[in-house]
Homo-oligomer: A and B are copies of this chain.
Amino acid sequence: MAAMTTSQPTNPLVGPLLTDFYQISMAYSYWRHKRHEVEGVFELYFRQNPFGGEFTVFAGLDECIRYLESFRVTDTDIAYLRTLLPRAEPGFFDWLRALDASDVTVHAVREGTVVFPKCPLLRVHGPIGLAQLLETSLLNLVNFASLVTTNAARMRLAAGPDCRLLEFGLRRAQGPDGGVSASRYAFVGGFDGTSNVLAGKIFRDLPVSGTHGHSYVQAHRSREDLPAIAADCILNGVDIAEAALQWRGELGYEEGAALHEGEFAAFVSYALANPTTFVALVDTYSVLDTGLRNFVTVALALAEAGFEAKGVRIDSGDLAYLSKEARQLFDRTADDLDAGTYGAGRGSLAESLRKCYVVASNDINERVLLSLRDQGAKVDAYGIGTHLVTCQAQPALGCVYKLVEISGEPCLKLSQEPGKTTIPGAKACYRLVGARGQMLLDLLVPAAHAAPEVGERVLCRHPFDSSKRAYVTPSRVLELHAPVFEGGRRVGASENLRELRAYCQRQLGEVREDVLRPLNPTPYKTSVSAELFSFLQDALQRHQPITELT
């Protein structure tokens, strides 16, 4: 092994023991019968797109490589495994102790690629004892990463390109790592940032933002909770509380409305501490009666001091209605300022109100995003938590890791359920692109066979249904796999999050809209080559027992 430093998994829990016990007992059985060095090929793939959709974004590859690079069984691991396998021969533990992942080679689809069922996302070649041991961790690292990235990508498509999307889900995530992974992969899928501070610290590319919570407002009960020392209220020579109260009078807000004085004190004190990032949460008591108005007065006071308030966040109620009311209040007040209603020279403050944005953040999911867009809601940014990070619409992706070849021979797994039959043999996957740049289909070809060629007609078949066939003459042929791990090391450089995110968005731009659409999307086809089809049919004929009904 080279003496270079290896990359470590982000989560220190990731390692050889993050696995199902049967991987260990299978490895022991192989080792016991001296079959652990037999060469095998495993493919990691899924059978169905999540969320009722017809596409998936592949993610998690970088963590898989970190796991492989650092794969070592420690002494305490061994001590624990001995308790689980008390009858195992000691030589097995010596083998485990010396094991690293340098004997496997991994080919993979590029992280951030839009992928479809049956396409191998990872193809692992290596001695079967070792390759088997990798199954559970690789699945764990790919399944959730791809699921969240896909979920985020769907929300980005639903919200449109101009809306800011912020991930706010840490508190509801499935454990600490559920939160940190979700923050990272939501960004890859098209979000703009997260509230998760640790994720920002770990992944330096990840923008972190946030405002204040309801408790901050509640913690201020009256104007007595304004900063006690007069100097603390002054920003660039402007007493923010006093200036805001003056605006309250000028805007006529005292008449009728029940402005909450604790909320007012909270907004003033928060704006004083964070004048460049002031977003007010306006629904602690009532958005329309007090929240928005208190915000406007403080925002105008800030503007007098030369700072721009960022906007408001609405966390309950009718988001379509309340966002429109907020927008209207800001714009109408800005118009009045421009018109000189509040005296000459105040027009310079109008722009800061017009630029104020509205963040909505209560129980947002893909359907709510679509519906709010339909209703013309005036929401500039969404904070999305639970539905994003736990993937509420479908909280698991069903990737599997199947043995497809052993000792160079393709092998088959039948199933009581036809959809679960494995396509045998190590396979390459080619994306065939048409004359107008449109993705036509993905084609699975035995890895040892030649790639389809540009301009040549190729027969593409449904793997199981012999009636479904198509001739395709591709204008471009993209090979989806590349080697990513070999000799114990990563092949090529790892990508940073911004590159991944940009690549993922470009990928989504290349997929046909009817495949991406939320309602009744068109399935994208993954076919097999004519040779692979014949091989599969032969194997099924030979191995599938004919049931005897008596």
Nearest residue (CB) in B for A9 is: B176
Query: A529 an interface residue at 8 Å Cβ cutoff?
Result: no
Q: Does A212 contact B (CB under 8 A)?
A: yes
Task: Establish whether residues B175 and A317, one from each chain, have CB atoms under 8 Å apart when the complex forms.
Answer: no
| List of B residues within 8 angstroms of A219 by Cβ | 30, 35, 38, 40, 128, 403, 406, 411
Q: Is A132 an interface residue (CB 8 A)?
A: yes
A316 CA / B172 CA spacing, docked (Å): 33
A296 to chain B, nearest CB (A): 17
Complex Cα distance, B136 from A11, in Å, reads: 19
- Whether B175 pairs with A11 at a CB distance below 8 angstroms is yes
Q: Given A11-B13, A18-B196, A87-B274, 15 more contacts at CB 8 Å?
A: A12-B12, A22-B211, A23-B210, A26-B213, A42-B215, A84-B197, A84-B200, A132-B215, A143-B171, A144-B174, A173-B174, A175-B177, A215-B413, A257-B545, A316-B416
**CB of A328 closer than 8 Å to a CB of B:** no
Most buried by B among A20, A26, A76: A20
* Contact size range, A: 35 or more
* Per-position binary interface string of chain A over residues 389-413, scored 1 when its CB falls under 8 Å from any chain B CB and 0 otherwise: 0111011111101110010010111
Is A152 an interface residue, CB under 8 A from the partner?
no
A543 within 8 A of B: yes
Which one, B141, B175, B283, contacts A416 given CB within 8 A? B283
CA A97 – CA B160 in complex, angstroms?
A: 42
- Does A342 count as interface, using CB distance less than 8 angstroms? no
A407 CB, min distance to chain B CBs, angstroms: 9
The verdict on A518 contacting chain B, using a C-beta distance below 8 Å, is no
Would you call A21 an interface residue if the criterion is a C-beta within 8 Å of the partner chain's C-beta atoms? yes
Minimum distance in angstroms from A445 CB to a CB of chain B: 21
Determine whether A297 belongs to the interface, using a CB cutoff of 8 Å to chain B. no
Nearest to A76 among chain B residues (CB) is B201
Contacting residues, chain B, for A80 (C-beta < 8 A): 197, 200-201
A449: CB under 8 A from chain B? no
Query: How far, in angstroms, from A40 to B215 measured CA to CA in the complex?
Result: 10
A75 at the interface (CB under 8 A from B): no
CA A350 – CA B140 in complex, angstroms?
Answer: 41
Q: How far is the CB of A381 from chain B (nearest CB, A)?
A: 14
**Set of chain B residues within 8 Å of A401, measured between Cβ atoms:** 215
CB within 8 Å of B: which of A195-230? Answer: 195-198, 200-201, 208-216, 218-219, 221, 225, 227-228
Is A270 in the interface zone, CB < 8 Å from B?
A: yes
Q: How far is the CA of A519 from the CA of B378 in the complex (A)?
A: 41
Question: Are the C-beta atoms of A11 and B176 separated by less than 8 Å?
Answer: yes
Q: Which residue of B lies closest to A181 (CB)?
A: B175
**Contact A285 to B13, CB < 8 A, known contacts A208-B84, A227-B33, A409-B221:** no
CB of A395 within 8 A of CB of B403, answer no
Set of chain B residues within 8 Å of A210, measured between Cβ atoms: 20-25
Closest to A175 in B: B177
Q: Given A177-B177, A273-B32, A395-B391 in contact, is the A212-B26 Cβ separation under 8 Å?
A: yes
Asked if A77 is at the interface of the complex by the 8 Å CB criterion, the answer is yes
